[in-house]
Amino acid sequence: MKGILLAGGHGTRLFPLTRVVSKHLLPVYDKPMFYYPLCSLMEAGAREVLLIAAPSDLPLFQKLLGSGRALGLRILYRAQERALGIADALRIGRDFIGNDRVALALGDNVFAGDCTAVFRHAAAQKDAVVFTSPVPDPVRYGIATVQGERVTALEEKPARPASNLAVVGMYFYPPDCAVYAAKLSPSARGELEITDLNRRYLQEGRLRALPLPCRWQDAGTSEGLLRAAALVREEELKGRQLGCLEERAYRLGLIDRAQFERLWPLSAGSDYGAKLRSVPV
């Protein structure tokens, strides 16, 4: 399975923080925001990842991650010339996806708790799989109405939501998702809506919805950014690292102990570096 990390868009909900920098590079506690969903892709089993961002931001992501080899990954980069919506990431990544199943993660979504098992389960399915989580403000999200694992309806930011179950920013698709995404028409707000893609799978009887068993936070607003940082801090007080790429690569067996320790000097003198050095053998 391959992974796509969408770190594009304008970040308008976080203006003026995002006037000169991508929101996905903003700090969530002690790490860039996009580190967290990248860890989620790693936990889901992705070893090849396509990172999509605005042309002006791509060099910054490349400076942080490089080829991904040091983490046991292969990371590629593509530009999203215009902010055309979430489904546009699958159109851009069509050649990258090829004949493989793909997980699409949004760069501003933070998952806390052990999601590895459910993400691996979704990666192993043939159908499209989305995860739902109850939210207090469903008008801000894509909303699903479900019966068991069966989705009965999908709405994008509905004025009168039929449920409070938000579709969170981690999606699993079969290879034909890129073909479907390329055939989507822009919505009234000029975007290729991920909800429209999911409706295609719903109409074909190929969409499953699973309740998210771990905690989740959308960090794309000022309040969400604050809540995400608090969530990360809370998890760390319990002894669980979130969004630590090097630690996650080591724990998943993508790099060995010697490779892990060779990464330590990059963060020498920081709290982040101290956390890496505290990871037991």
Q: Which amino acid is at 96?
A: F
The number of C-alpha atoms within 13 Å of 226 and in the hemisphere containing its C-beta is: 3
Confidence check: pLDDT of 13 > 90? no
Report all structural domains of the chain as residue ranges with CATH numbers, in order of start: 2-132+167-243 (3.90.550.10)
Q: What is the pLDDT of residue 171?
A: 98
- pLDDT-derived band at 188, boundaries 50, 70, 90: confident
Q: Name, in order, each residue with C-beta under 8 angstroms of 142's C-beta and a sequence gap of 6 or more.
A: 154, 155, 156, 157, 166, 167, 193, 194, 195, 198
- pLDDT-derived band at 98, boundaries 50, 70, 90: very high
Q: Name, in order, each residue with C-beta under 8 angstroms of 109's C-beta and a sequence gap of 6 or more.
A: 36, 37, 40, 168, 169, 170, 216, 217, 218, 219
pLDDT by residue (tens digit) across 22-52?
999 999 999 999 999 999 999 999 999 999 9
pLDDT by residue (tens digit) across 189-239?
888 999 999 999 999 999 999 999 999 999 999 999 999 999 999 999 988
| Percent of the chain clearing pLDDT 70 (strictly above) | 100
- pLDDT-derived band at 148, boundaries 50, 70, 90: confident
